[in-house]
Structure 1
Protein backbone atom coordinates (compact mmCIF):
# COMPACT_ATOMS: atom_id res chain seq x y z
CA UNK A 1 0.00 0.00 0.00
CA UNK A 2 1.03 3.55 -0.53
CA UNK A 3 2.34 5.43 2.47
CA UNK A 4 -0.63 6.80 4.49
CA UNK A 5 0.79 10.33 4.45
CA UNK A 6 1.19 10.13 0.65
CA UNK A 7 -2.41 8.97 0.23
CA UNK A 8 -3.54 11.80 2.53
CA UNK A 9 -1.47 14.37 0.64
CA UNK A 10 -2.95 13.26 -2.69
CA UNK A 11 -6.47 13.17 -1.25
CA UNK A 12 -6.18 16.73 0.10
CA UNK A 13 -4.60 17.94 -3.14
CA UNK A 14 -7.69 16.82 -5.05
CA UNK A 15 -10.02 18.54 -2.57
CA UNK A 16 -7.99 21.77 -2.86
CA UNK A 17 -7.51 21.84 -6.64
CA UNK A 18 -9.85 24.46 -8.13
CA UNK A 19 -8.92 23.93 -11.77
CA UNK A 20 -11.48 21.44 -13.08
CA UNK A 21 -9.14 19.55 -15.44
CA UNK A 22 -6.29 19.30 -12.92
CA UNK A 23 -8.70 18.24 -10.15
CA UNK A 24 -10.19 15.53 -12.35
CA UNK A 25 -6.70 14.25 -13.18
CA UNK A 26 -5.92 14.04 -9.45
CA UNK A 27 -9.19 12.20 -8.77
CA UNK A 28 -8.53 9.79 -11.65
CA UNK A 29 -5.02 9.06 -10.37
CA UNK A 30 -6.14 8.43 -6.78
CA UNK A 31 -9.58 6.80 -6.95
CA UNK A 32 -10.60 3.50 -8.60
CA UNK A 33 -13.17 3.53 -11.42
CA UNK A 34 -15.90 2.22 -9.10
CA UNK A 35 -14.92 4.25 -6.03
CA UNK A 36 -17.52 5.52 -3.57
CA UNK A 37 -17.48 8.55 -1.30
CA UNK A 38 -19.91 8.76 1.62
CA UNK A 39 -20.24 11.55 4.19
CA UNK A 40 -23.14 13.18 6.06
CA UNK A 41 -23.80 15.61 3.21
CA UNK A 42 -23.11 13.69 0.01
CA UNK A 43 -22.65 10.30 -1.53
CA UNK A 44 -20.93 9.57 -4.80
CA UNK A 45 -20.34 6.47 -6.89
CA UNK A 46 -17.60 6.62 -9.52
CA UNK A 47 -14.84 9.10 -10.23
CA UNK A 48 -17.04 11.65 -12.00
CA UNK A 49 -19.39 11.75 -9.02
CA UNK A 50 -16.49 12.06 -6.56
CA UNK A 51 -15.17 14.97 -8.62
CA UNK A 52 -18.64 16.57 -8.61
CA UNK A 53 -18.86 16.29 -4.79
CA UNK A 54 -15.49 18.03 -4.48
CA UNK A 55 -16.54 20.80 -6.89
CA UNK A 56 -19.77 21.32 -4.95
CA UNK A 57 -17.88 21.59 -1.64
CA UNK A 58 -15.56 24.16 -3.18
CA UNK A 59 -18.53 26.27 -4.34
CA UNK A 60 -20.21 25.91 -0.94
CA UNK A 61 -17.09 27.03 0.96
CA UNK A 62 -15.27 29.63 -1.18
CA UNK A 63 -12.01 30.91 0.24
CA UNK A 64 -11.52 27.83 2.42
CA UNK A 65 -9.06 25.01 1.93
CA UNK A 66 -8.42 21.56 3.32
CA UNK A 67 -5.35 20.74 5.40
CA UNK A 68 -4.18 17.78 7.42
CA UNK A 69 -4.62 17.99 11.17
CA UNK A 70 -1.71 15.76 12.07
CA UNK A 71 -0.28 12.74 10.33
CA UNK A 72 -2.35 10.11 8.59
CA UNK A 73 -2.15 6.56 9.86
CA UNK A 74 -3.06 3.30 8.26
CA UNK A 75 -2.90 -0.46 8.15
CA UNK A 76 -4.18 -3.30 5.98
CA UNK A 77 -5.03 -1.01 3.07
CA UNK A 78 -6.99 1.49 5.18
CA UNK A 79 -5.92 5.10 5.79
CA UNK A 80 -7.36 7.44 8.45
CA UNK A 81 -6.90 11.18 8.15
CA UNK A 82 -8.12 14.02 10.33
CA UNK A 83 -8.46 17.20 8.30
CA UNK A 84 -9.56 20.79 8.74
CA UNK A 85 -11.40 23.16 6.44
CA UNK A 86 -10.13 26.68 7.06
CA UNK A 87 -9.07 29.94 5.49
CA UNK A 88 -5.34 30.00 4.79
CA UNK A 89 -3.55 30.53 8.11
CA UNK A 90 -6.86 30.78 9.96
CA UNK A 91 -8.75 28.63 12.44
CA UNK A 92 -10.69 25.57 11.33
CA UNK A 93 -14.33 26.06 10.40
CA UNK A 94 -14.96 22.33 10.08
CA UNK A 95 -12.92 19.40 11.34
CA UNK A 96 -13.38 16.03 9.72
CA UNK A 97 -12.10 12.52 9.65
CA UNK A 98 -11.97 10.41 6.53
CA UNK A 99 -11.34 6.68 6.38
CA UNK A 100 -10.01 5.66 2.97
CA UNK A 101 -10.18 2.02 1.92
CA UNK A 102 -7.62 1.25 -0.78
CA UNK A 103 -6.97 -1.62 -3.14
CA UNK A 104 -3.30 -1.32 -2.23
CA UNK A 105 -2.65 1.53 -4.64
CA UNK A 106 -5.87 3.51 -5.15
CA UNK A 107 -8.83 4.55 -3.04
CA UNK A 108 -11.88 2.29 -3.41
CA UNK A 109 -14.01 4.03 -0.77
CA UNK A 110 -13.90 7.11 1.40
CA UNK A 111 -16.08 7.45 4.49
CA UNK A 112 -16.17 10.93 5.98
CA UNK A 113 -17.30 12.30 9.32
CA UNK A 114 -17.70 16.03 10.02
CA UNK A 115 -17.66 18.18 13.15
CA UNK A 116 -19.72 20.31 13.01
CA UNK A 117 -21.89 19.14 10.13
CA UNK A 118 -22.56 22.11 7.79
CA UNK A 119 -26.14 23.21 7.26
CA UNK A 120 -27.67 24.86 4.20
CA UNK A 121 -27.55 28.24 5.97
CA UNK A 122 -23.91 27.91 6.94
CA UNK A 123 -22.03 26.00 9.59
CA UNK A 124 -23.55 24.88 12.87
CA UNK A 125 -21.66 26.13 15.91
Structure 2
Protein backbone atom coordinates (compact mmCIF):
# COMPACT_ATOMS: atom_id res chain seq x y z
CA UNK A 1 0.00 0.00 0.00
CA UNK A 2 1.39 3.41 -0.89
CA UNK A 3 1.43 6.20 1.66
CA UNK A 4 -1.33 8.01 -0.21
CA UNK A 5 -3.48 4.89 -0.38
CA UNK A 6 -3.12 4.44 3.40
CA UNK A 7 -4.13 8.07 3.99
CA UNK A 8 -7.07 7.75 1.59
CA UNK A 9 -8.30 4.57 3.33
CA UNK A 10 -7.88 6.19 6.74
CA UNK A 11 -9.78 9.36 5.82
CA UNK A 12 -12.50 7.35 4.05
CA UNK A 13 -12.98 5.44 7.30
CA UNK A 14 -13.40 8.64 9.29
CA UNK A 15 -15.87 10.00 6.72
CA UNK A 16 -18.00 6.84 6.62
CA UNK A 17 -21.02 5.83 8.67
CA UNK A 18 -23.12 2.71 9.16
CA UNK A 19 -22.44 -0.27 6.93
CA UNK A 20 -19.82 1.61 4.91
CA UNK A 21 -17.87 2.33 8.09
CA UNK A 22 -17.99 -1.33 9.11
CA UNK A 23 -16.81 -2.38 5.65
CA UNK A 24 -13.88 0.06 5.56
CA UNK A 25 -12.70 -0.88 9.03
CA UNK A 26 -12.81 -4.59 8.17
CA UNK A 27 -10.94 -4.00 4.91
CA UNK A 28 -8.27 -1.51 5.98
CA UNK A 29 -7.72 -2.01 9.73
CA UNK A 30 -6.04 -4.93 11.51
CA UNK A 31 -8.42 -6.76 13.89
CA UNK A 32 -6.38 -5.65 16.91
CA UNK A 33 -5.82 -2.09 15.65
CA UNK A 34 -5.26 0.61 18.25
CA UNK A 35 -5.97 4.33 18.06
CA UNK A 36 -4.62 6.92 20.50
CA UNK A 37 -4.98 10.71 20.49
CA UNK A 38 -5.30 13.32 23.26
CA UNK A 39 -9.05 12.60 23.60
CA UNK A 40 -9.33 8.85 23.01
CA UNK A 41 -7.59 5.52 23.36
CA UNK A 42 -9.36 2.55 21.79
CA UNK A 43 -8.55 -0.93 20.51
CA UNK A 44 -10.39 -3.21 18.08
CA UNK A 45 -12.94 -2.68 15.35
CA UNK A 46 -16.01 -2.14 17.55
CA UNK A 47 -14.34 0.53 19.67
CA UNK A 48 -12.94 2.26 16.60
CA UNK A 49 -16.37 2.27 14.97
CA UNK A 50 -17.92 3.78 18.11
CA UNK A 51 -15.23 6.47 18.17
CA UNK A 52 -15.83 7.43 14.53
CA UNK A 53 -19.61 7.53 15.06
CA UNK A 54 -19.06 9.79 18.10
CA UNK A 55 -17.06 12.25 16.01
CA UNK A 56 -19.89 12.36 13.45
CA UNK A 57 -22.31 13.20 16.27
CA UNK A 58 -20.02 15.92 17.61
CA UNK A 59 -19.28 17.44 14.18
CA UNK A 60 -22.37 16.80 12.01
CA UNK A 61 -21.91 17.55 8.33
CA UNK A 62 -18.13 17.85 8.62
CA UNK A 63 -15.62 15.85 6.58
CA UNK A 64 -12.01 14.83 7.02
CA UNK A 65 -9.64 16.00 4.27
CA UNK A 66 -5.88 15.73 3.78
CA UNK A 67 -3.74 18.78 4.55
CA UNK A 68 -0.46 18.68 2.63
CA UNK A 69 1.43 15.59 1.56
CA UNK A 70 2.05 12.34 3.40
CA UNK A 71 5.53 11.23 4.45
CA UNK A 72 6.34 7.53 4.85
CA UNK A 73 9.04 5.05 5.75
CA UNK A 74 9.24 1.54 7.27
CA UNK A 75 5.47 0.85 7.31
CA UNK A 76 4.82 4.24 8.93
CA UNK A 77 2.86 7.09 7.37
CA UNK A 78 2.78 10.62 8.78
CA UNK A 79 0.29 13.20 7.52
CA UNK A 80 -1.90 16.11 8.51
CA UNK A 81 -5.70 16.23 8.17
CA UNK A 82 -8.47 18.78 8.56
CA UNK A 83 -12.04 18.39 9.80
CA UNK A 84 -14.68 20.89 8.77
CA UNK A 85 -17.55 21.65 6.42
CA UNK A 86 -16.96 20.51 2.83
CA UNK A 87 -14.87 23.11 0.98
CA UNK A 88 -14.45 25.38 4.02
CA UNK A 89 -11.55 26.11 6.33
CA UNK A 90 -11.11 23.16 8.72
CA UNK A 91 -12.38 23.64 12.27
CA UNK A 92 -9.88 21.08 13.54
CA UNK A 93 -6.44 20.19 12.18
CA UNK A 94 -4.47 17.19 13.36
CA UNK A 95 -1.39 15.14 12.59
CA UNK A 96 -1.42 11.35 12.66
CA UNK A 97 1.12 8.58 12.31
CA UNK A 98 -0.20 5.28 10.96
CA UNK A 99 1.71 2.05 11.46
CA UNK A 100 0.81 -0.65 8.94
CA UNK A 101 0.95 -4.40 9.52
CA UNK A 102 2.50 -6.95 7.17
CA UNK A 103 -0.75 -7.06 5.17
CA UNK A 104 -0.74 -3.25 4.77
CA UNK A 105 -3.66 -2.79 7.14
CA UNK A 106 -3.66 0.00 9.71
CA UNK A 107 -2.39 -1.53 12.95
CA UNK A 108 -1.72 1.52 15.12
CA UNK A 109 -2.54 5.22 14.99
CA UNK A 110 -0.90 7.94 17.06
CA UNK A 111 -2.82 11.19 16.70
CA UNK A 112 -2.14 14.77 17.69
CA UNK A 113 -4.42 17.81 17.60
CA UNK A 114 -2.71 20.84 16.06
CA UNK A 115 -5.69 23.21 15.94
CA UNK A 116 -8.95 22.90 17.88
CA UNK A 117 -11.97 25.22 18.08
CA UNK A 118 -12.18 27.61 21.02
CA UNK A 119 -14.49 26.40 23.77
Place the TM-score, normalised by the shorter chain, in its bin.
Answer: over 0.9
Q: Provide the C-alpha distance between the structure 2 equivalents of 1:25 and 1:73, rounded to a whole number of angstroms.
A: 26
Q: Provide the C-alpha distance between the structure 1 equivalents of 2:111 and 2:25, rounded to a whole number of angstroms.
A: 16
Q: Provide the C-alpha distance between the structure 2 equivalents of 1:42 and 1:24, rounded to a whole number of angstroms.
A: 19
- Report the count of equivalent residues: 118
TM-score, reference length from structure 1: 0.89
In the TM superposition, what is the alpha-carbon distance from 1:21 to its structure 2 partner?
Answer: 0.8
Q: Which residue of 1 aligns with 2:85?
A: 87
Q: Which residue of 1 aligns with 2:29?
A: 31
In the TM superposition, what is the alpha-carbon distance from 1:115 to its structure 2 partner?
Answer: 2.2
Alpha-carbon RMSD: 1.2
The unaligned stretches of length 5 or more in structure 1 are 118-122
Q: Provide the C-alpha distance between the structure 1 equivalents of 2:68 and 2:115, rounded to a whole number of angstroms.
A: 19
1:68 aligned to which of 66, 69, 74:
66
In the TM superposition, what is the alpha-carbon distance from 1:78 to its structure 2 partner?
Answer: 0.3
Does the 8 Å contact 1:116/1:124 carry over to 2?
Answer: no
The structure in which a higher percent of residues are strand is 2
The unaligned stretches of length 5 or more in structure 2 are none
Moved over 3 A (4+): none
